[in-house]
Structure 1
Amino acid sequence: MKRFPNNDNFTYENGYKAWLSAIFIDLRNSTKLFTENSEVDVAKVIRGFTSEVIEILQKDTQDNELKEIGIRGDCVFAVYSTASKEEIYDIYQRAVYINTYLKMLNKLLDKRNLPNIKAGIGLAADKNLAVKAGRKSSGINDFVWIGKAVTTASNLADLGNKEGICPIVMSGTFYTNYIDVEKNENSKNWWRKNHDNQNGAYYHGNIVRTEFDEWIESGMID
């Protein structure tokens, strides 16, 4: 199957296998953030982080493209049905926008004497099996993604923005599809390649949207 169907097509008896991409945005040092600042200040920071990130992840998506979006503790995530390299590239663009937005958010937090935040942004793509799990008539159900993409994106987000790893971290498969679409001749120089036993080859970089970043650096004046 090239693409996952609409969510209404899933039952407790069937399952579908297709290409999907996952993105996880995982806060760094959240324990320190939560324990060393006032509850009101933390609430303001978390609301600013989650609401705008979710907006970026949802914007201009079709019903059968965005399969799941949610918050797990201090992490925002989304899962997309990506039937083409161009759609995988779109997920990359969302990651870059989020990475740039976090720079703006920290500038605004500085002005209000609120704590800054950092996040790792993990990206992965692969062919996965999706099944609906839960109990009939209970109203409690969710998708279970059986395969590498979601787990790998979560793992890579945990690596991002610490111990010398840049904020955006993508799996080897995601990179291979993304780079085929990227038109900038210097794009391969944006990324550093690493490898570990858990995630295999992965690429990390600190890419931002140029015009957005310049506006932030100029003082965010219209």
Structure 2
Amino acid sequence: MDGNFKLYNWVTSSARIKEILDQPAGAFEEVAGLPDRDKLTFTNGFYGYCSAIFIDIRDSSGLTSEHKRPTLAKIYRSFISEMVAVLNSDSNVREVNIVGDCVWASYKTTDVRHLNDVFDIVAQANTLLKLLNHHYRKKGISELRIGIGVDYGRVLMIKAGFNGSGVNDVVYMGDVVNRAAHLAHEAGRGWSSKTILVGDVFYSNLNEHNQGLLSSQWVNGLGSIYMGDVINTGMNEWIDNLS
């Protein structure tokens, strides 16, 4: 959100608070899958099901001690640019967001085949790491490690911000978003050497082939999760042939 200066008035602020809190429950509609963001206003919202992918850089703080700021800018710019490109490449994508060095996306997944399509995006993102590291090595830049978290569930989608200012964004609230973020945070570190962690509901909707690419694990605080280092084989072979 781009900031734009407006004086604060506590009288009109109080009126806005009251208006928001007085909104009827019926303004929040139950839907099978999340709609486009242009359906949102400051007075409505949608309950629906979606899949979420979070991708987080491991030990990003260590990069600041290894590289100067111009190189850091190139690392983050290339990582975010191409991860966003992958996340945005499914026709059911609803939102793609950048939060610091983390990128995440939500997808309208109303059919099991949609979840398998999202899993394909996950595999491509994991293979993209190999492509990024190929180019980083050629420039003498430290290779990145990442964690990818994926889950499926119900979410509340609302438009939030300062009404009339142009400063607003779409906010997703629900366990699926928090859980996918938590899975990404845990992936690729400590007890899990695997880059990809998948929630049990998402896993249960995958086809037999995709389920076979993941192994199960019980983790305190997370319950049953599934992990793997799944790749896009065609993309991987192409990277292997790069000079």
TM normalised by structure 1 equals 0.89
Q: In 2, Cα distance between the equivalents of 1:87 and 1:164?
A: 30
Q: 1:14-33 to 2 correspondence within 5 Å?
A: 14-33=44-63
Of 42, 48, 51, which residue of structure 2 is paired with 1:12?
A: 42
Residues 1:59 and 2:93 are matched in the alignment: no
User: Which whole-Å deviations, capped at 9, do the CAs of 1:54-73 have from their partners, x for residues lacking one?
Assistant: 11111242xxx332212111
Q: In 2, Cα distance between the equivalents of 1:75 and 1:60?
A: 19
Q: In 2, Cα distance between the equivalents of 1:88 and 1:58?
A: 15
Kindly state the Cα deviation for residue 103 of structure 1 after the two structures are TM-superposed: 0.8
Show structure 2 runs of 5+ residues with no match.
1-30
Q: In 2, Cα distance between the equivalents of 1:14 and 1:123?
A: 27
Kindly state the Cα deviation for residue 5 of structure 1 after the two structures are TM-superposed: 2.0
Q: Amino acid of the residue matched to residue 201 of structure 2? A: T
Q: In 2, Cα distance between the equivalents of 1:7 and 1:120?
A: 28
Residues 1:214 and 2:237 are matched in the alignment: yes
2:90–2:118 Cα contact (<8 Å) kept: no
1:45–1:115 Cα contact (<8 Å) kept: no
- Which residue does 1:172 correspond to in 2? 200
Residues 1:204 and 2:227 are matched in the alignment: yes
Q: In 1, Cα distance between the equivalents of 2:77 and 2:172?
A: 27
Secondary structure of the residue aligned to 2:161 is strand
Residues 1:145 and 2:159 are matched in the alignment: no
Show structure 1 runs of 5+ residues with no match.
none
Superposed CA RMSD in Å reads 1.6
Of 50, 54, 60, which residue of structure 1 is paired with 2:80?
A: 50
Q: Quick one: structure 1 residues 96 and 18, their matched pair in 2 at CA, closer, same or farther if it must change by over 3 Å?
A: same
Aligned length, in residue pairs = 212
Kindly state the Cα deviation for residue 115 of structure 1 after the two structures are TM-superposed: 1.2
TM normalised by structure 2 equals 0.82
Q: Which has the larger radius of gyration?
A: 2
Quick one: higher RCO (CA 8 Å, sep 6+), 1 or 2?
Answer: 1
